[in-house]
Structure 1
Amino acid sequence: MLVPDRSEAAAAPHRRIPLGSTDVHLERRPDGSLLLHSREALQPYPRLLTQHLRDAAGQHPQRVFLAERGPAPEGAWRELRYGEAWARVQRIAQSLLARGLSAERPVAILSGSGIEHALLALACLHVGIPHCAVTPAYSLLSDDHAKLRHVLGLLRPGLVFADDAAAFETALERAVPADVELVYTRSPAARRAGTPFGALEAAEASTAVQAASDAVAPDSVARVLFTSGSTGLPKGVINTQRMLACNQQMMVQAIPAIAAQPLVILSWLPWHHTSGGNQMLGLTLRCAGSFYIDDGKPAPGEVEKTVRNLREIAPTVYFSVPRGFAMLIPYLRADAALRERFFSRLSLLYYSGSALGRSLVQSLDALAVQACGERIPMMSGYGATESAPAAVAANWVGGESGLAGLPIPGCELKLAPLGNGKYEARLRGPNVTPGYWAQPELSAALFDEEGFARMGDALSFVDPNDLSQGLAFDGRVAEDFKLSTGTWVGVGTLRARLIQESDGLFLDAVIAGESQDAVGAFVVVDRTAATLACGLPPETPLPTLVANPKLVARAQAVLDALAQRGTGSSTFIARAMLLSEPPDAAAGELTDKGSINQRAFLTNRAPLLAQLYATPADAAVLVASTTA
């Protein structure tokens, strides 16, 4: 059977799933600000997230809670079941209490996602010991370990965990004081004593564990999540027990389909990030579901691991970013068995980050229709590390790409006017942080006079006259800049327009032009869509691909179309370059979620920026026709 064309797929029904309320109250204020909240009340949620673990262990002791790949070459799934997990968490908690760990001596986790990582984090949560998962990049990809030293200097941990101590040895020597206990699971460090992870489980849990758990207050610190540090040194966002527990209930009320069948998640999203560490793990516990840790990610040489996992695990919901979906499409298109398994029991696809191109959504629709005869609802939302993360969701079927949505139950959204129809998002509710760890001056600056946290993100109404169409994400306020004319450029708006106009050809872009006469862009092409458009094999080298006359002509047409609709120099892209060297994660140009760090990219690529604005225009630079 051939993949249906777009018109056939568009006519197919969406899979029917239960959805939450979109009934939102809007208050317009004299100062121009707007207040929005869901009319649906937030339902009860537990005092601690680990109460879900205890309940699941009692009701489904043999159900898989977590699974990860074992060592190569076999790489069989190593499974942890709920009954075993609950018993191990309590024993580890006993050992943590015996070591005198506390809010003054928290736990730092340096390594990535894994079963031991989860057990240690849950034991900390259960007895009220704050923990922090630190991005492994600060340890393994840094030359000077400055950010790791900054993070650990703020935390002052009493225990540090690294799954492979030998791999982290240099980082440990430079950033972890010698008197801080090191716990590891394999490969002990050569020059530093450590405790095998199994030693944390040696003692049975005493009544002290339950007593400590009973004493944990909902507003005590559960974990600290550090921001990416793209605009300075990372800030440690406090996540309370209440934030973690309530946010899962908020999400399930907004999208009941998540809990409508036994939840199965396969996710690569990193656990030191709020989406992976809070939402994916939290929803798994809230729904007594099964979480399979994806050892792949949306990058060349890594996405193949994700494909292998999807051949074995059929998720009920699938969370990713635009880059992740784009990299899966050629595999889904080429492999009927993979395609049928992937779509077999999916309730919904959910993404965050930049907007999805129309072509990408249409391709997913066509593949789903071929596999199961119906489209899978594609949803999106908006949140932040400071909101645990879910705050706003587009929880309806058939919305356009790039939506933030509407406030979910329990969270208030304040829109502070920025001009040009854009608003700064500000949040208040039980899911919102009380501030930053050990940085009171930053905590004070976070909140406005009414206690709303300033998110620094811009939102705008899809249709100012129709609230039901929701809000769209409009970029980071700090990313916006002025041209030499003094005109402000809305970076988020232009990036979304460029991606949408390319109809799947462009995956992402960096918007440039601060203090220049016109806006420029560095474009990341979608290799799958571009090779298909040019009739080239998938393995075509990127420099060859971006120089292909067919692709150059298509890109030129996109720029010209935007320019023809532009109403001023800040509303279209005058110059663009198709990147032959994509953003580099090791150089900080990509975040752990796969989105572009615009500031880092422009700083690192100063010669490329000069080439973009050279006069006369360089041969590699596309110039919109209205400015030629």
Structure 2
Amino acid sequence: MAAVDISPAAALHRRARYPSSTAVVYEGREVTAAELGRTVGEFAAGLSERGLRRGDRIAYLGFNSVTFLETLFAAAHLGAVFVPVNFRLAADEVRHILNDCGAHTLVVEEGHREVVESVLADVPARGHVLVDTDPACPAVPEGVWTALSGLRGPDRPVRQPVALYADDLAALMYTSGTTGRPKGVMLTHGNLWWNAVNVDSVVDTRSDDVNLAVAPLFHIGGLNALTLRTLVRGGTVVLRRGFDPAQCLEDLVRHRVTSLFAVPAMFAALARVPGFAEADLGALRAAVVAGAPVPPQLIRDYAEHGVLLQQAWGLTETAPFATYLPAGMTLEKTGSAGVPMPYTEIRLTHPGTGAGIDGPDVRGEICVRGPNVTAGYWDNPDATHAAFDDMGWFHTGDVAYRDKDGYYYIVDRLKDMIISGGENVYPAEVERVLAELPGVLEAAVIGVPDPKWGETVLAVLSCTEGTKPTVEEVREFAAGYLARYKLPTRVLLIDHLPRNASGKLAKAELRQWAEAKTP
């Protein structure tokens, strides 16, 4: 069977034949597919003139924008590798990523130029492009870097996109680095394409979808859960530079949004916007939530509003989804991450022995195999070898169990497990219970040293104004749901829980904060 060209640039090129089709609505401006396709082709030609070749890495640092998407498609147009960089990173972290990927070209928004300039002497990039084509970006000083507008224009000969196949490298997406230096996850065009096939097989997605993109595009969920597939299939992406709950609600209603990916904290913030209960969200049929444990009460709250949150689970390494809970099972299996995607395999293994787990309700490490799973980590064979076994299973480090009906429930990260008096305590299990406590907005659980038990459970809570639960009140509430050894022995109250750019709880930061608060 002959290889098939699955380049997203080729798909955009085909779509651009329909000039009136709106591809992106960005900060109040409509961009047609024809306009986007033409701009991408010109940009690719300009980058080619500056020496960007197939396999070279092109990094982007900035907020969500049309330019972000143009850079991704221009990279694919040439067969280059796209490297989106987390805009919240410090200079040393940016230096590490640009060096690790060996970036050939940098595309940067003005608001992030100074961070990049502080490390330029230490990175190999030869091309430095500053975004001057976006009115939503800060003003660009004259004579600084190469202006993006200078790389585009109708005078450049625009070639057809190069053919790209399943094994061709599409992007390097760097992990959040919660356990050390970020690793570059190698995602092929096959990984991205098969995730779209999985999504379109089980989620109620359509070619004319209106997708609201408010999660960071440098994160695999924001980019590849729904946004990229919407663009290449013919839908419209309503794109915001960042997430503002009130603006999000307005966009959902005004644009009759049909699909949305967000992390639980974003859905929770959206539900607290005045007017949410009265808002018409009848068009929203694919509301996918992932990236962190989902409180059951959040699912129930949205169901009362007529929106069935569809929980999914995965990682950057799975591009992103490995499991999905169909909308029709949202209330029956509340809290479940669903069943394996159609073209993805899942198995549970004993963390100590690696032996497979076949029975229900037994906790083990969740492992994934399939065409949407990364080929490994960029220039890091040791990390790649450690993550994959001899049968090609990717070991995720997440703990899960499967119920008698075959639905998976994610328990926690192996590394976050608390061992108290010889008993295993999974923080996410305790967090789900504490999130049900009246007045609690968010809950995080970490292990802290204890002279008697080795470790004990500390609950860090963010609450509504005037709510200040004591440790006794927390324990009394949780005792109805949890074994005694899982109950918090200390409670600390905080205004907002720290999260990384992917929306995940920053447990390391919480531990440091808790140590500082310990008498």
Normalising to structure 2: TM-score of the pair? 0.88
Q: Percent identity of the aligned residues?
A: 22
Query: Of 271, 285, 288, which aligns to 1:350?
Result: 288
Q: Counterpart of 2:356?
A: none
Equivalences, count: 499
Q: Counterpart of 2:344?
A: 411
Shift of 1:602: 0.8
Q: Counterpart of 1:563?
A: 479
Q: Counterpart of 1:376?
A: 307
CA–CA separation in structure 2 for the residues paired with 1:246 and 1:406: 17
2:172 aligned with 1:172, yes or no? Answer: no
Q: Counterpart of 1:325?
A: 267
CA–CA separation in structure 2 for the residues paired with 1:590 and 1:520: 20
Seen in structure 2, the aligned counterparts of structure 1 residues 188 and 173 have a Cα distance that, compared at 3 Å, is farther
Q: Counterpart of 1:617?
A: none
Opposite residue 116 of structure 2, the aligned amino acid is A
In the alignment, is the contact (CA less than 8 A) between 1:48 and 1:242 conserved in 2?
no
* Cα distance per residue 1:570-600 (max 9 Å; x no partner): x332332232x323xxxxx311233311122
Of 84-93 and 307-316, deviating more is 307-316
Seen in structure 2, the aligned counterparts of structure 1 residues 178 and 244 have a Cα distance that, compared at 3 Å, is closer
In the alignment, is the contact (CA less than 8 A) between 2:448 and 2:456 conserved in 1?
yes
In the alignment, is the contact (CA less than 8 A) between 1:410 and 1:430 conserved in 2?
yes
Q: Counterpart of 1:309?
A: 251
SS at match of 2:226: helix
Equivalences for residues 13-32 of structure 1 within 5 A:
none
Q: Counterpart of 2:355?
A: none
Seen in structure 2, the aligned counterparts of structure 1 residues 118 and 151 have a Cα distance that, compared at 3 Å, is same
Shift of 1:160: 0.5
Q: Counterpart of 1:84?
A: 35
Normalized per residue, the structure richer in helix is: 1
Normalising to structure 1: TM-score of the pair? 0.74
In the alignment, is the contact (CA less than 8 A) between 1:264 and 1:314 conserved in 2?
yes
Shift of 1:432: 0.8
Query: Of 210, 232, 237, which aligns to 1:264?
Result: 210
SS at match of 1:403: coil
2:232 aligned with 1:232, yes or no? Answer: no
Equivalences for residues 153-552 of structure 1 within 5 A:
153-164=99-110, 167-175=112-120, 177=123, 180-186=126-132, 193-202=144-153, 206=157, 209-210=159-160, 213-214=162-163, 216-255=164-203, 257-259=204-206, 262-297=208-243, 302-331=244-273, 333=275, 336=278, 339-340=279-280, 343-366=281-304, 368=305, 375-397=306-328, 398-418=331-351, 421-461=362-402, 463=403, 465-467=404-406, 470-483=407-420, 485-499=421-435, 501-502=436-437, 505-514=440-449, 517=453, 519-525=456-462, 527=464, 540=465, 545-547=466-468, 552=469
Query: Of 487, 502, 510, which aligns to 1:601?
Result: 510
CA–CA separation in structure 2 for the residues paired with 1:83 and 1:206: 17
SS at match of 2:181: coil
SS at match of 1:275: helix
Gaps of 5+ in 2: 133-137, 353-360
Q: Counterpart of 1:536?
A: none
Shift of 1:174: 2.1
Of 170-179 and 381-390, deviating more is 170-179
Shift of 1:206: 4.3
In the alignment, is the contact (CA less than 8 A) between 1:94 and 1:203 conserved in 2?
no
Q: Counterpart of 1:133?
A: 84
In the alignment, is the contact (CA less than 8 A) between 2:430 and 2:445 conserved in 1?
no
Q: Bigger radius of gyration, 1 or 2? A: 1
CA–CA separation in structure 1 for the residues paired with 2:276 and 2:375: 48
Task: Identify which of structures 1 and 2 has the higher relative contact order when contacts are C-alpha pairs closer than 8 Å and 6+ apart.
Answer: 1
In the alignment, is the contact (CA less than 8 A) between 1:126 and 1:213 conserved in 2?
yes
SS at match of 1:361: helix
Opposite residue 213 of structure 1, the aligned amino acid is V
In the alignment, is the contact (CA less than 8 A) between 2:367 and 2:395 conserved in 1?
yes
Seen in structure 2, the aligned counterparts of structure 1 residues 362 and 382 have a Cα distance that, compared at 3 Å, is closer
Structure 1 segments (4+ residues) deviating >6 Å: none
Shift of 1:365: 2.9
Shift of 1:431: 0.7
Shift of 1:275: 0.4
CA–CA separation in structure 2 for the residues paired with 1:427 and 1:515: 36
Opposite residue 196 of structure 2, the aligned amino acid is Q
CA–CA separation in structure 1 for the residues paired with 2:424 and 2:443: 21
Opposite residue 238 of structure 1, the aligned amino acid is M
Superposition RMSD in Å: 2.7
Q: Counterpart of 1:577?
A: 492
Gaps of 5+ in 1: 1-43, 70-76, 369-374, 528-539, 584-588, 612-628
